[in-house]
Structure 1
Amino acid sequence: MVRILTAAVLTLVVCLPMQAQADEVLEAIEQAVTLYKQGDYTGAAGNLDYASQLVRQQKGGQLESFLPEALSGWTAADTQSSSMGAMFMGGVSAERSYRKDDGDGRVKVAIFTDSPMLQPMMMMFSNPMIVASSGAKLETHAGQRAIVDYVPGENRGEIRVVVDNSILVTVEGQHVEKVDLVAYLEAIDFQAFSNLQ
Structure 2
Amino acid sequence: MSYRIVTSTVCAFALSMGAAKADEILDNLKEAIAAYEEGEIQETMEIVEYTRTLLSQKRSGTLEEVLPDALAGWTREDSDGSDNAAAMAMMGGGTLVQARYRKEDGTKLDLQIMAESPMIAMMAAQLGNPAVLAQMGKVKRIKRQKVLLNKDGGLQAMVDNRFFVQMEGNATHEDMLAYFEAMDIKGMKEF
TM-score w.r.t. the length of structure 2 is 0.88
Partner SS state of residue 109, structure 2: strand
Letter in 2 for 1:179: E
- Structure 1 residue 179, shift from structure 2 partner: 0.9
Q: Identify if the C-alpha distance between structure 1 residues 87 and 5 changes in structure 2 by more than 3 Å, giving closer, same or farther.
A: farther
Where does the alignment leave 5 or more consecutive residues of structure 1 unmatched?
Answer: 152-156
Q: Identify if the C-alpha distance between structure 1 residues 19 and 150 changes in structure 2 by more than 3 Å, giving closer, same or farther.
A: farther
Q: Identify if the C-alpha distance between structure 1 residues 150 and 180 changes in structure 2 by more than 3 Å, giving closer, same or farther.
A: farther
- 1:7-22 aligned at under 5 Å gives the runs 7-16=8-17, 18-19=18-19, 22=22
Q: Identify if the C-alpha distance between structure 1 residues 21 and 58 changes in structure 2 by more than 3 Å, giving closer, same or farther.
A: farther
* Whole-angstrom distance in 1 between the partners of 2:19 and 2:189: 19
- 1:8-157 aligned at under 5 Å gives the runs 8-16=9-17, 18-19=18-19, 22-81=22-81, 82-84=84-86, 86=89, 88-101=91-104, 103-133=105-135, 135-151=136-152, 157=153
Deviations 1:141-182 (A, max 9, x none): 12211122145xxxxx221122222111112231x3221110
Partner SS state of residue 171, structure 1: strand
Counterpart contact for 1:94–1:110, Cα < 8 Å: yes
Stretches of 4+ moved more than 4 A in 1? 85-88
Partner SS state of residue 182, structure 1: helix
Letter in 2 for 1:31: E
Q: Identify if the C-alpha distance between structure 1 residues 49 and 142 changes in structure 2 by more than 3 Å, giving closer, same or farther.
A: same
Partner SS state of residue 9, structure 2: helix
TM-score w.r.t. the length of structure 1 is 0.85
Q: Identify if the C-alpha distance between structure 1 residues 20 and 42 changes in structure 2 by more than 3 Å, giving closer, same or farther.
A: farther
Q: Indicate the residue corresponding to 2:162 in structure 1.
A: 166
Counterpart contact for 2:155–2:173, Cα < 8 Å: no
Q: Identify if the C-alpha distance between structure 1 residues 187 and 79 changes in structure 2 by more than 3 Å, giving closer, same or farther.
A: farther
- Structure 1 residue 28, shift from structure 2 partner: 0.8
Counterpart contact for 2:149–2:173, Cα < 8 Å: no
Deviations 1:1-49 (A, max 9, x none): 1111122112222332x35852111111111111111111111111111
Give the % identical residues: 30
* Whole-angstrom distance in 2 between the partners of 1:137 and 1:117: 23
Counterpart contact for 1:64–1:80, Cα < 8 Å: no
